[in-house]
Amino acid sequence: MQFDDLLTEQRNHRSTHIDRESTLEMVGTINREDHRVARAVQKQLPQIAAAIDAAYPKFDQGGRLIYVGAGTSGRLGVIDATELQPTYGLTEKQTFGLIAGGNQALTHTLPSVEDSPELAQDDLAAVQLTANDVVVASAASGQTPYTVAALKFAQAHGATGIGFSCIEDSPLAQLADYPITPVVGPEVITGATLLKAGTAEKMVLNMLSTGIMVKSGKVYQNLMINVVPTNGKTFERAKKIIAEATQTSTLAAERALDRAGNNVPLAIVLIETKGTIAEAKKLLDATGGHVSQAVKLSDDVQHA
């Protein structure tokens, strides 16, 4: 399919008069189109769930979550990876984003780099991609050479390939192990895929990464439990998380955190199971660090 024929490049008949609308009418037009994004993403929920279920066992076992893209798609991937690190206590080695053109492309437009398959191969080779890794390749059009080549390279090395695009049956969608293709339709401003396509990608990446983190035990109830207390603010946050998770006082939470050596998951298991530090550690070791599973295992043992 020619680039100009792509749905993301067509004119939107609902916004052809946006340049003559009042400011309130203009933002109303944009907002109505954004509602279409949510519905398009909703139709992809089974595909998103399947991608999460394929990705989290690899991540759980030490594989990396790697985002790849060019332009807006690449920047959104870098943002998602970067935000996961402090939110869930991850390192830069566990999740990161690769964007065509490198760090300079985060703040500058480098138009030619997205057309280079060789650059994608070099970028993934440089991080020593393995079969344990998960690669999330994103391109609104689904045919950006850099992104398609990155996904091909990933699959050639046995990595799990998730492909995000807004075009059904695009090269990226056909290639991906787990294609996710919310069809958001033409943009409010013709061809400006930083708008609806960008919003759709952000929504999908939010679901993917959150789902992988939840399934990998980085969340207990709906609390982010991998916060590392390194200063006064994070220490207070850790105490609050423990107190809320266990329905206990902040004083009891502080005592448990001290006994657990400032390890929040261990402190939670310690309170929830009413056991010893050694027993709590054993439960977490047996469940790969999953607090929910550790608490359940303790309950099962007590009621056996």
List 9, 21, 83, 118, catalytic entry? 83
Are residues 9 and 1 in contact, defined by beta-carbon separation less than 8 angstroms?
no
Strands 95-99 and 134-138, bridge-based pairing = unpaired
The mean of the pLDDT values for the chain is: 93
Which structural domains are found in the chain, ordered by start? 3-215 (3.40.50.10490), 219-302 (1.10.8.1080)
Query: In 3D, which of 147, 143, 142 has the Cα closest to residue 165?
Result: 142
pLDDT value of residue 228: 81
CA 155, CA 66: separation in Å to the nearest integer?
Answer: 13
The string of DSSP codes covering 143-192 is --HHHHHHHHHHHHTT-EEEEE-SSTT-HHHHH-SEEE-----S-SSTT-
What is the maximum span of the chain, computed from C-alpha positions, in angstroms? 72
CA 229, CA 224: separation in Å to the nearest integer?
Answer: 13
Q: Is 83 among the catalytic positions?
A: yes
pLDDT value of residue 123: 96
Torsion sign, CA atoms 245, 247, 253, 257: negative
Structure tokens at 60: 């759980």
170: Cβ–Cβ under 8 A, 6 or more apart, which residues? 139, 141, 142, 143, 181
Q: Is 92 among the catalytic positions?
A: no
pLDDT value of residue 298: 85
Structure tokens at 85: 């690190």
**Residue 106 main-chain phi, psi, to 5 deg:** -70, -30
pLDDT tens-digit readout, 205-237? 999 999 999 999 999 999 999 988 888 888 899
List 9, 25, 92, 114, catalytic entry? 114
Rg (C-alpha) for the chain, rounded Å, is: 22
Q: Where are the alpha helices (DSSP H) in 178-276?
A: 196-215, 232-246, 250-259, 264-273
pLDDT value of residue 82: 95
218: Cβ–Cβ under 8 A, 6 or more apart, which residues? 88, 89, 224, 225, 226
Are residues 151 and 173 in contact, defined by beta-carbon separation less than 8 angstroms?
no
pLDDT value of residue 299: 80
Q: What does each of the 304 residues of the chain score in pLDDT, given as a tens digit?
A: 556 668 888 889 999 999 999 999 999 999 999 999 999 999 999 999 999 999 999 999 999 999 999 999 999 999 999 999 988 989 999 999 999 999 999 999 988 899 999 999 999 999 999 999 999 999 999 999 999 999 999 999 999 999 999 999 999 999 999 999 999 999 999 999 999 999 999 999 999 999 999 999 999 999 999 988 888 888 899 999 999 999 999 999 999 999 999 999 999 999 999 989 999 999 999 998 899 999 999 887 776 5
Q: How far from the centroid of its chain's Cα atoms is residue 276's Cα?
A: 35
